[in-house]
Amino acid sequence: MDQAETLRRIRTGTADARAPRRRVRGIAVASGKGGVGKTNIVANMALALSRKGLKVLVFDADMGLGNIHILLGLAPRFNAAHVLTGAKTLAEILVEGPNGIKILPASTGNRKYGELAAEEKLVLKSELEAAQDDFDYVLFDVGAGISANVMFFCSAAQDVVVIASPEPTSFSDAYALMKVLSRDYKVRTFRLVVNSCRDRAEAAGIHSRLVMVADKFAPDIRIDFLGHVALDPAVPQAVRSQKLFSDLFPGAEASKDVARITDALVRTASAGEVDWDAVFKG
C-alpha cells in the first residue's frame, strides 16, 4: 500500500462533534500461552456484557489465526483482511453474534497479518475511531505469544486481562508476557483470570505466586485478581456445538464464574477510552 492510498483509506472527521460521545472501554485479553481459554472467556464475557445492556464489539485480534467466529458457529464472508486491503469498511465486515454482540472476524491461515505494517495499523485505527461511538466495550482477543500484534493491541487497550491456568507452563508464559509489556511498552497493570481451576482458592494461590515473582523480578508490575473460571465439562461441550457455554448452560459453574468476572470488570474498568494515538506515538 503506498502512502497516498493509505491516506485515502483513512477517514477524517466522520463523527458529528456535537453528538454525545460514548466512552468506549478497550479490554485486551491475552495469555502468553495458547489454548488456555482466551477465546472462550472473551466471547462469554461479551455475552455477559451485552446482557447488561452494553454494546460490545469483539475484535478477533488473532489476526493470522482467528477462530472466534468458529466458536460462535458463524461463517463470515469478509474479515479484517478486507478492511486492510481497502476492499471493505469496518461496518461492512462486522457480523452479529448472540444477543446483538458484534464480531470483527480475523482472517485465518494468513501469516501476512501476524504482524501488521505501520500503514495497516493506521487504517485500522481510523476505522475503529469512526466506529467506536457505537460501542461501550471493545474486547480484543489477542493471539497467543508475545508477537508485535499482541503488544500493539495490549498497549492500545486501557485494560489488559491476562488469562492463566494452574499449569506451570501457562503461569510462566503469563509472567513473561507481563514482563515484556511492562519493560518495552510501559503497560504496568494487569488483571488476572485463572481459568480451568478447581475453585477460587486455587486461583487465589496462583495469583499470589505470580505477585510474589513479579515483586521480586519486575516490581513495576501490578497484578490485580479479577477472578477465576472453573474447569467445567460444559465448556468443551459447548465448543463442540459451536455455542457459548453461558448461552447453552447458564446454570453451569463456568457460566456463573464468567458473570462474576464480568461484574468485577465493569466495576473496576479504567477510566478513559482507547487511545490509538498514544500507541502510534509510542
Ligand X SMILES: Nc1ncnc2c1ncn2[C@@H]1O[C@H](COP(=O)(O)OP(=O)(O)O)[C@@H](O)[C@H]1O
Binding of residue 36 to ligand X (CB under 6 A): yes
Q: Which of 14, 15, 35, 134 forms a contact with ligand X (CB under 6 A)?
A: 35
The secondary structure of 40-87, three-state, reads HHHHHHHHHHHHCCCCEEEEEECCCECCHHHHCCCCCCCCHHHHHCCC
Q: How far is the CB of 63 from Mg ion (least distance, A)?
A: 12
- Find which of Mg ion, ligand X, none residue 231 binds, CB within 5 to 8 Å per kind: ligand X
Q: Which of 235, 252, 261, 274 forms a contact with ligand X (CB under 6 A)?
A: 235
Contacts of 16-21 with C-beta under 8 Å, sequence gap 24+, read: 19/133, 21/133
Nearest residue to 175 (alpha-carbon basis) of 147, 140, 211, 225:
211
Distance CA 162, CA 207 (A): 11
Q: How far is the CB of 160 from ligand X (least distance, A)?
A: 15
- Name the one range near ligand X by CB under 6 A: 29-37, 91-99, 153-161, 268-276: 29-37
Distance CA 163, CA 38 (A): 6
- Name the one range near ligand X by CB under 6 A: 7-15, 121-129, 219-227, 235-243: 235-243
Distance CA 15, CA 176 (A): 39
x-or-dash pattern for Mg ion, window 33-62, by CB under 5 A?
-----xx-----------------------
Q: How far is the CB of 65 from ligand X (least distance, A)?
A: 9
Distance CA 280, CA 123 (A): 12
Is the Cβ of residue 26 or residue 37 nearer to ligand X in the bound state?
37
Binding interface with ligand X (CB under 6 A): 31, 34-40, 195-196, 229, 231-232, 235-236, 239, 254
